[in-house]
Amino acid sequence: MLENTLLDELHEECGVFGVFGCHGAAEITYFGLHSLQHRGQEGAGIVACDNGSMKRIKGQGLVTEVFKEGSLDKLPGDMAIGHVRYSTAGGSSIENVQPFLFNHHTGPFALCHNGNLVNSNELKKFCEDRGSLFQSTSDSEILAHLIQKNYNDRTFIYSLKSALEMLDGAFAFLVMLGDKLIAARDKYGLRPLSIGKINGGYVVSSETCAFEVINAKFVRDVNPGEVVEISKDGIKSTYYSNMNKHHMCAMEYIYFSRPDSELEGRNVHAFRKASGKLLYKEMPTKADIVIGVPDSSLSAAIGYAEESKIPYEMGLIKNKYVGRTFIQPSQAMREKGVRMKLSAVSSIIKGKRVILIDDSIVRGTTSKRIVALLREAGAKEVHVRISSPQITNPCFYGVDISTYDELISARLDLEGVREYIGADSLYFLSKEALFEAAERNDLCLACFTGKYPTALYHAVKDANKDGKF
In the annotated binding site for [4Fe-4S] cluster, the residues are 249, 395, 444, 447
Distance in Å from the first CA to the final CA of the chain: 28
- Long-range contacts: 452-456, Cβ < 8 Å, 24+? 452/396, 453/188, 453/190, 453/245, 453/247, 454/118, 454/168, 454/169, 454/170, 454/188, 454/396, 454/397, 455/118, 455/119, 455/168, 456/118, 456/396
Name the minimum Å distance from CB 190 to ligand SF4. 5
Cis bond upstream, residue 99 (ω within 30): yes
Write the interaction track for ligand AMP spanning residues 319-358; mark x where CB under 6 A is met and - where it is not: ---------------------------------------x
Name the minimum Å distance from CB 37 to ligand SF4. 20
Look at the chain and count its residues: 469
Strands 381-386 and 425-428: parallel
Q: Does 446 bind ligand SF4 (CB under 6 A)?
A: yes
For 85, phi then psi, to 5°, come to: -120, 135
Run of H or E residues at 197: strand 194-198
| Residues in 397-436 at the binding interface with ligand SF4, rule: CB under 6 A | 397, 399
CA 385, CA 430: separation in Å to the nearest integer? Answer: 11
**Residue 12 or 226 with smaller CB distance to ligand AMP:** 12
Give the residue, chosen from 140, 194, 275, 296, that forms a contact with ligand AMP under the rule CB under 6 A: 296
| Residues in 377-396 at the binding interface with ligand SF4, rule: CB under 6 A | 395
CA 389, CA 255: separation in Å to the nearest integer? Answer: 13
Q: Which does 250 bind (CB under 5 to 8 A by kind): ligand AMP, ligand SF4, none?
A: ligand SF4
Name the minimum Å distance from CB 58 to ligand SF4. 26
- Among 3-11, 60-68, 95-103, 220-228, which window interacts with ligand AMP (CB under 6 A)? 3-11
CA 148, CA 63: separation in Å to the nearest integer? Answer: 31
| Residues in 241-260 at the binding interface with ligand SF4, rule: CB under 6 A | 249-251
Q: Does 417 bind ligand AMP (CB under 6 A)?
A: no
User: How distant, in Å, are the alpha carbons of 44, 184, 191, 249, 253 from that of 207?
Assistant: 16, 14, 10, 13, 11
| Residues in 251-270 at the binding interface with ligand AMP, rule: CB under 6 A | 255
**Residue 256 or 427 with smaller CB distance to ligand SF4:** 256
- Is 14 annotated as catalytic? yes
| Residues in 85-104 at the binding interface with ligand SF4, rule: CB under 6 A | none
Q: Does 447 bind ligand SF4 (CB under 6 A)?
A: yes
Site residues (vs ligand AMP, CB under 6 A): 1-2, 4, 10-12, 255, 293, 296, 358-367, 399-401
**Residues labelled catalytic:** 14
